Amino acid sequence: MAVNRDDFSALSAAARRRDGNHANLRWHHAERVPRSLW
């Protein structure tokens, strides 16, 4: 195969970090919303 396990692991780790960053952005955005709007 053209992609070995190490490459796949690196891509998976990058994807997890990217998803985690997006989740953090959504969380921080939600924190800025006044509680009364919930």
CA dist 37 to 18, 19, 30, 33, Å?
28, 26, 10, 7
Q: Distance between CA 17 and CA 19 in Å, rounded? A: 5
For 1-38, write each residue's pLDDT tens digit: 566 778 778 777 777 777 666 666 666 666 666 666 55
Task: Give the CA-trace dihedral at 7, 11, 16, 18, to 10 degrees.
Answer: 150
Three-state secondary structure along the chain?
A: CCCCHHHHHHHHHHHHHHHHHHHHHHHHHHHHCCHHHC
What's the whole-model pTM score? 0.34
